[in-house]
Structure 1
Amino acid sequence: MSENTAQMPIHSGFDSKTTAEEVIKDIDLQGKVAIVTGGYSGIGLETTRVLAHAGATVIVPVRTLEKGRGALKDIPNVEIAAMDLMDPDSIDRFAEQFLENHDTLHILINSAGIMAPPLRRDNRGYESQLSTNHLGHFQLTARLLPALKRGNARVVAVSSRGHRLGAVDFNDPNFEDKEYDKWKAYAQSKTANILFALMLDKRGKEYGVRAFSVHPGLIPDTNLGRDLTKEVFGPKPVLDEHGQPVSNEQHNEFKTIEQGAATSVWCAVSPALQGLGGVYCEDVDIAKAKSASSPDPEGVEAWAINPEFAEQLCELSESLTGVKFTI
């Protein structure tokens, strides 16, 4: 089997308009077990829905059980359990409960996230976007590694094109010595998602575990930007001559939730990705690697696919969480 990790399109046959249902058509997930963080709202909910309707048992961690039950009540094959990505103890409890009830995990989609809130910190003092978007998922994935290995699993880290706004600051990741910038913090956490997938794939592929990172697209109909006003919703939307937002995705329209879930689902289930991993994907294909001078918004920045940075991030994450990532 090829161990290709080339960051270049494979011409999947899909595009920016493809929906998650179209991606998963004719794929049978009977007997498969999946976890989708954030799987009860926005693109996470659509991801849960299509995986469950394809036959998978989908476990959805939720911060509020009542809210989760309400959102997921009409979807078959779904289980919910309490978890807060900013609370390491709750992550451990969720993982322990999962491993007690399931010995195998085939799909892990780390879809939950927050974007550009005011400065908030978890109980350890860590900046909330780094804590939620990366560190919580780092700890969760580490705890689930035994089941992921048994499942020859795919792990999908939902990142963002917003990673282009900044790399990981390994010297001051929690904005202790510099002024807080909500977009730099968001970009850092999204770059961390890409580097994490690169690191996990490198370590996991000999055990059958492959990892991918994803830009889902610009999707205004979610609560990801709940801390933002309409005027600053972004990052950095392009306005037409009438002051109305247009896509910066080669002037296509903003994506629907159904389209936004497509790339995550494709990475999780597509036979076309057999033997591939460690790559950043967008518009239901592997994205191109950007050159340092490229103004093109599409593609992945060099700092986000740097193997040395990926290992450095793992060391930082182990230090911040106290969790060793041993596979």
Structure 2
Amino acid sequence: MTAQHKIGSGFGHDSTADDVLAGIDLTGKLAVVTGGYSGLGLETTKALTKAGAHVVVPARRPDAAREALAGVDGVEVDELDLGDLESVRAFADRFLASGRSIDLMIDNAAVMASPETRVGPGWEAQFATNHLGHFALVNRLWPAIAADGAARVVSVSSSAHRRSDIRWDDLEFRQGYDKWAAYGQAKTANALFAVQLDALGKDSGVRAFTLHPGGILTPLQRHLPREEMVALGWIDEDGNLLSPHFKSPEQGAATQVWAATSLQLADEGGVFCEDCEIAEVSVDGPYGVRPYAIDPASAARLWTVSAELTGVNAFG
């Protein structure tokens, strides 16, 4: 695991995905971007294809994905519902049958602050979709990810990880549901997943990263009523952005694209990034990563729990 300190990347809050890809040729590379047809995922897909990559976009709504990606060359769409482990297995089987390897795996899809919903065997939907679905997907795709010995896996977390550590005694929010705490736990899980995957995968040449993309208004906010976003200080009554910290979608996609491709991160891994830079550790305040979200012991424990829940473990 790389030291969790800034490296002086030269990029920052306002950098775009195209900025961080300047001079990088991804011709011949294959990327998988979950949710790569909406919000940050769409901008990520566009930037990667412009740099020459072929992008596979697994989508819960493949027809909507094809419509959103019309006119973008170098993309293929397939069906995947991260909240359904059978759908995850079916997608992975189809991909592995193609015999292709994966160079860049970006776990971008997410649900945020949704009403209490149960999926699968009764799992809380944000934890199940944002974390367990991606956990199962990466583990099932592992033969393709490890094939060439130089892949990167990027797990998109959020500053919302600060809202909750892993609730080891109540992962599924059986003792009272809070949509923001549930989202926070899921985003902490996304971060810890990258920490443990990097530890397990680096001997195979695979490195993993996690990140906060920044505040961006995208379809991710579909479960939030306007009055709640006004109360949070994000927008005014007319829907105009108020926070100077918000990014455009092109800026929001930059950190995950940087983590997936930057030569500055060669031989690095297991770190939390923000603003196209390795983040500093912070116990309070609006920036940085909380210590519990990059704790190796917690990451290993969550991996074990996730493998037991999903029945999938490429390293078992």
1:22 is aligned to 2:19 = yes
**Residues 162 and 235 in structure 1, CA contact (< 8 A), matched pair in contact too:** no
Give the length in aligned residue pairs. Answer: 313
Match of 1:123 among 120, 124, 135: 120
Aligned to 2:299: 310
Aligned to 1:288: 280
5 Å-filtered alignment, 1:34-113, equals 34-113=31-110
Residues 103-145 of structure 1: CA deviation (Å, up to 9, x unaligned): 3110000000010010001031000100110000000000111
What is the CA-CA distance between 1:237 and the residue it aligns to?
Answer: 4.5
1:231 is aligned to 2:223 = no
Inter-CA distance 245–306: structure 2 relative to 1 (3 Å threshold): same
Specify the code of the residue in structure 1 equivalent to 2:257.
V
Unaligned 5+ segments in structure 1 are none
User: TM-score when scaled to structure 1?
Assistant: 0.92
What is the CA-CA distance between 1:289 and the residue it aligns to?
Answer: 0.7
Specify the code of the residue in structure 2 equivalent to 1:326.
F
**Residues 36 and 58 in structure 1, CA contact (< 8 A), matched pair in contact too:** yes
1:204 is aligned to 2:201 = yes
Specify the code of the residue in structure 2 equivalent to 1:197.
A
Aligned to 1:165: 163
Aligned to 2:262: 270
- Whole-angstrom distance in 2 between the partners of 1:9 and 1:223: 31
5 Å-filtered alignment, 1:130-169, equals 130-151=127-148, 152-169=150-167
**Residues 229 and 235 in structure 2, CA contact (< 8 A), matched pair in contact too:** no
Aligned to 2:246: 254
What is the CA-CA distance between 1:170 and the residue it aligns to?
Answer: 1.5
Aligned to 2:289: 300
Residues 70-103 of structure 1: CA deviation (Å, up to 9, x unaligned): 0111111101111100011111111111111133
- Whole-angstrom distance in 1 between the partners of 2:277 and 2:234: 23
What is the CA-CA distance between 1:60 and the residue it aligns to?
Answer: 0.2
Aligned to 1:326: 315
**Residues 105 and 153 in structure 1, CA contact (< 8 A), matched pair in contact too:** yes
**Residues 170 and 316 in structure 1, CA contact (< 8 A), matched pair in contact too:** no
**Residues 32 and 105 in structure 2, CA contact (< 8 A), matched pair in contact too:** yes
Specify the code of the residue in structure 2 equivalent to 1:286.
I
- Whole-angstrom distance in 2 between the partners of 1:270 and 1:234: 36
Unaligned 5+ segments in structure 2 are none
Residues 271-304 of structure 1: CA deviation (Å, up to 9, x unaligned): 00001000000000000011x3xx3210000110
- Whole-angstrom distance in 2 between the partners of 1:210 and 1:160: 19
- Whole-angstrom distance in 1 between the partners of 2:69 and 2:116: 31
Inter-CA distance 237–194: structure 2 relative to 1 (3 Å threshold): farther
Q: Greater shift after overlay, 63-72 or 266-275?
A: 63-72
**Residues 318 and 325 in structure 1, CA contact (< 8 A), matched pair in contact too:** no
Inter-CA distance 312–236: structure 2 relative to 1 (3 Å threshold): farther
**Residues 126 and 182 in structure 2, CA contact (< 8 A), matched pair in contact too:** yes
- Whole-angstrom distance in 1 between the partners of 2:62 and 2:299: 34
Q: 1:17 aligns to what SS in structure 2?
A: coil
- Whole-angstrom distance in 2 between the partners of 1:233 and 1:156: 28
Specify the code of the residue in structure 2 equivalent to 1:306.
D
Specify the code of the residue in structure 1 equivalent to 2:271.
V
Inter-CA distance 234–19: structure 2 relative to 1 (3 Å threshold): farther
What is the CA-CA distance between 1:26 and the residue it aligns to?
Answer: 1.4
Residues 163-183 of structure 1: CA deviation (Å, up to 9, x unaligned): 00110111211112x110000
Structure 1 moving runs of 4+ over 6 Å:
none
After superposition, the CA RMSD in angstroms is 1.8
**Residues 114 and 179 in structure 2, CA contact (< 8 A), matched pair in contact too:** yes
